[in-house]
Amino acid sequence: MSQEFAAEAGWFHPSRGAYRYTVLLFVGLLPFGSYFAYDSIGALAPLLMKAWHTDQSGVGSLYTWYSVAPILFVVPAGLMIDRIGTRLASLILSGLVVVGACVVALAPTVGVAAVGRFIFGAGSESLIVAQSAILARWFRGRELALSFGVTLTIMRLGTLFSFNGISSVAGRFGVGEALWVAAGLCLFSLLCNLVYFGMDRHGEAALGLAEAGAGDKIALADVRKFGRSYWYAVVLCATFYSAIFPFTALSTDFFHEKWGLPLTVASGHASGALQSVWYFLRHTFGTAGGTTSIIIAASMVFAPFAGGLVDRIGRRASLMALGALLMIPSHLVLGFTMVPPYLPMILLGASFVLVPAAIWPSVPLIVEKNVTGTAFGVMTMIQNAGLALFPWVNGKLRVATEGWQASAVMFALLGVLGFVFALLLLRADRRETGVLERGAAAA
């Protein structure tokens, strides 16, 4: 499309940055509610154990059932995305998220909640695959890592609000009501999906783009096209996230038990509504859930900057190695010392900034363009295999040992494994194309 036509069409034409970044905002909001609902279980773990008469193993199993679902459904969902297009498929997947969150909110027992988490996981993780394909379509080149960073910030706002607010809602209104807040935010994300639907359809017509699902097929036959760099990145991804999310699933209970941190912000002496909000924000990181959210807060604030940095300087494999390395002392200090937890949590936060900012935008660089969707789908499927196993193992270790050291060793060993595969990825990239270490200046 000519520049003259775009100028006549106005500043909000699909060819303009303003339009694309508005699309980016709503694409980032697609999983906002699911991120809130996902971590609401961990944030409410001590209360849910009482309400559902279960233990850490029971709560950990809810994360396992969440992750079992995408192992089974990510590939069929990818085929659905290719058949009916990203827009309609994402609406269906958002609907599954809402249904699953509602079942959890209605659940009288942990068994019923597990059914809801299974439905929820089937929609949520497949929606992330669709989101990744959307970003690879709308943003290329120097803006790709930045777009991933921006969406990570938007999505992790949901996690931050979950760990820092849902316990207070539960304390004031009840656990069931808090879970309904999570379901309501999933519905909000569904409404945002409708906005994206309209904007993407308009952009497709205005710019003559191909159908949204085209070029993003998830077909197992394409797996043979992936090289060593891709598989090293996949293993790194699985080990890294298995040392983060299974830890945060029970870390609120961990911080409450080991350091005696309160579950909610104590009532202040503020009189007005705005004063009460300010009091809550000033004291929230003194709670168990707030301490957990330090990881998410760091990622939320710095992910766009990290993404922009990756676009400029490259060094993707090196940053992945550094991020994996930081996890090792962080988990060991948390498990074996009484050092104030916010210090190792800041290190974990730095790790959670570096690795995601580098690893997800690397996928389109190390696979062929026409199998990007397949690559994201397979990576997500294997990642969730780890996320299905390790929350359950973490819960069993906590119950069996009545402590935290065994879990800390397990998470630190996952960090060691991730670091090894990051080094293998760095070596493979140097021997092959060197694309991961190149920045915009060298491209």
* 35, 31, 229, 245: CA torsion to nearest 10: 10
Question: Residue 238 — φ and ψ, nearest 5°?
Answer: -65, -45
Confidence of residue 216 (pLDDT cuts 50, 70, 90): very low
Q: 365 CB contacts (<8 Å, ≥6 apart)? A: 316, 435, 436
Residue bearing tokens 């508005």: 22
Q: How far apart are CA 177 and CA 175, in angstroms?
A: 5
Per the structure block, which two tokens stand in for 198? Answer: 């309209």
Asked if pLDDT for residue 215 goes beyond 60, the answer is: no
In a domain, 171, yes or no: yes
Helix (H) or strand (E) holding 404: none
Could you tell me which residue, 176 or 209, shows the higher pLDDT?
A: 176
Confidence of residue 188 (pLDDT cuts 50, 70, 90): very high
In a domain, 436, yes or no: no
In a domain, 7, yes or no: no
Chain segment 63-101, per-residue pLDDT in tens: 889 988 888 887 787 777 767 777 888 999 999 999 999
Per the structure block, which two tokens stand in for 26? Answer: 């709503």
Asked if pLDDT for residue 275 goes beyond 60, the answer is: no
- What does the DSSP assignment read for 236-283? HHHHHHHTTHHHHHHHHHHHHHHS---SSPPP----SHHHHHHHHHHH
In a domain, 8, yes or no: no
Q: Into how many domains does the chain fold? A: 1
Ranked by mean pLDDT, the top range of 156-170, 189-203, 211-225, 372-386 is 189-203
Q: How far apart are CA 43 and CA 48, in angstroms?
A: 9
Domain ranges, residue 39: 15-203+210-431
Average pLDDT score over residue span 219-248: 88
Asked if pLDDT for residue 304 goes beyond 80, the answer is: no
Give the domain CATH number at 286.
1.20.1250.20
Single-letter code of the amino acid located at 294: I
In a domain, 438, yes or no: no
Chain centroid, CA 315 distance in Å: 22
CA distances from 166 to 159, 175, 337 (A): 10, 9, 29
In a domain, 441, yes or no: no
Q: 142 CB contacts (<8 Å, ≥6 apart)? A: 311, 312, 440
Asked if pLDDT for residue 203 goes beyond 90, the answer is: no
- pTM of the shown model: 0.72
Question: Residue 16 — φ and ψ, nearest 5°?
Answer: -90, 155
Q: How far apart are CA 180 and CA 117, in angstroms?
A: 14
- Do the Cβ atoms of 113 and 135 come closer than 8 Å? no
Chain segment 397-416, per-residue pLDDT in tens: 888 888 889 999 999 999 99
- Do the Cβ atoms of 232 and 359 come closer than 8 Å? no
CA distance between the termini of the chain:
26
Asked if pLDDT for residue 284 goes beyond 80, the answer is: no
